Amino acid sequence: MTYKTQMEAAKKGILTEQMKKVAAKEGMDTPKLMALMAEGRIVIPSNIHHLSLDHEGVGEGLKTKINVNLGISRDCREFKFEIEKAVKAIEMGAEAIMDLSSYGKTREFRRKLVGMSKAMIGTVPMYDAIGHLEKDLGEIKAEELIDVLRVHAEDGVDFMTIHAGINRKTAERLKKNGRLTNIVSRGGSLLYAWMELTGNENPFYEHYDKVLDILRAYDVTISLGDACRPGSINDSTDACQVEELITLGELTKEAWKKDVQVMVEGPGHMAINEIQANMVLQKRLCHHAPFYVLGPIVTDIAPGYDHITSAIGGAIAASSGADFLCYVTPAEHLRLPDLEDMKEGIIAAKIAAHAADIAKGVSGAREHDYQMSTARKNLDWEGMFNLALDQEKARRYRESSQPEHEDSCTMCGKMCAVRTMNKVMSGEKLSLD
């Protein structure tokens, strides 16, 4: 039997090499993995042209994955800095990189990134359209926007964010209901503007069958973009967000008919007390397709610290059903992130993902913490460093403030509770002098 996509293979009962790799990584039985893929609850983004890819699964019962955003733009055209960030992101264990390039030699950069990356690569073709086509937004034809998707698929990207859910009906809903922050999705705002300028329907919605045919041909996973994600906690769970979500659920089923793998994107900015309900609503309306969230950022007042506001929301979202977290850096809302910003964003997202995996009972999640706690009990500093999410920072902090006694730190010294209890429980003499 032959197949075009991982989903088609799963439906036909064909065990692919990608499935074997993911099952082994996740500690999941292959029949269970295949069944969940056939239902659309797990995806393995895997473009047939991305030969360096170390395959990952996203979805139900799997470890929560994280994504890092980078790319060249009008204000940052140099490949070198963004490639350095990509190399570091992969080294730090990010499972996915989204190339959000919007200006300059975007195709050259994208091909270089795909060629060197073992992480999944995602793109937002709408970002690239104006620069690639070298036209003003209102002059771009629907068929030209579809062609940009084809170029990205040919170049080997594993998933694409496509804002197919913001159609003219959703746009009217936005106009009638209003919002404090309108549309904050870059791709969504460009498509809204294109519809207003041309009077036409969103081409990714109107010609969705053509979109799916392209994605199917290369086994590109569609990440259904949430153009109406809230850009402030004031706008969360409003009519526009829910209207689009219903449409995304319908588009999910249409993609599955053509065996195209689907992820669905979610908020955005959202108060803590709304997150769990949104995850349940999302999964229900989108038929349990994997859910990919940006944050959610739980308060709007912390510029410079939005990796923290995002990690709080991400941990709650993932523990409530989200499967994939897009990192947020301290530079969010302020500037293009540099290398240090990216590192902080990755660690914050990984903390959120791991905390959620513990709550969800994902295989192996608690074992990591057990090992760390054992090393702490034994005052095994090298063991602690090796188990830390950020080994470099843990070592640097320890080395920057040396204690009088090796079996303590400068916080408590000889009054360290762990040291005290180890000695007392083993019958050793305890001296605090």
Q: State yes or no: 370 annotated in a binding site.
A: no
CB 255 within 8 A of CB 283: no
Q: State yes or no: 274 annotated in a binding site.
A: no
CB 414 within 8 A of CB 432: yes
Q: State yes or no: 240 annotated in a binding site.
A: no
Among residues 398, 393, 397, 404, which one has the least CA distance to residue 431? 404
Q: State yes or no: 94 annotated in a binding site.
A: no
Supply the DSSP string of 326-385, one letter for each residue: E---TTTTTS---HHHHHHHHHHHHHHHHHHHHHHT-TTHHHHHHHHHHHHHTT-HHHHH
**Cα–Cα distance measured from residue 111 to residue 370, given in angstroms and rounded to the nearest whole number:** 41
Look up tokens 């590192």; give the residue. Answer: 343
Q: State yes or no: 232 annotated in a binding site.
A: no
Q: State yes or no: 367 annotated in a binding site.
A: no
How far does CA 380 lie from the centroid of its chain?
34
Q: State yes or no: 185 annotated in a binding site.
A: yes
Among residues 97, 328, 92, 302, which one has the least CA distance to residue 229? 328
Look up tokens 């030969």; give the residue. Answer: 51
Q: State yes or no: 129 annotated in a binding site.
A: no
Q: State yes or no: 49 annotated in a binding site.
A: no
Q: State yes or no: 76 annotated in a binding site.
A: no
Q: State yes or no: 165 annotated in a binding site.
A: no
Which burial class, exposed, middle or buried, applies to 77 when counting CB atoms under 10 A from its CB (0-12, 13-18, 19+)? Answer: middle
Q: State yes or no: 386 annotated in a binding site.
A: no
Q: State yes or no: 229 annotated in a binding site.
A: yes
For CA atoms 239, 244, 250, 256, give the dihedral sign: negative
How many Cα atoms sit within 13 Å of 384 on the Cβ side? 15
Q: State yes or no: 405 annotated in a binding site.
A: no
Q: State yes or no: 99 annotated in a binding site.
A: no
Q: State yes or no: 354 annotated in a binding site.
A: no
Binding-site residue ranges for substrate: 69, 98, 127, 163, 185-187, 226-229, 265, 292
- Residues in the annotated binding site for [4Fe-4S] cluster: 409, 412, 416
Annotated binding site: 69, 98, 127, 163, 185-187, 226-229, 265, 269, 292, 333, 409, 412, 416
Going by the annotation, the residues of the binding site for Zn(2+) are 269, 333
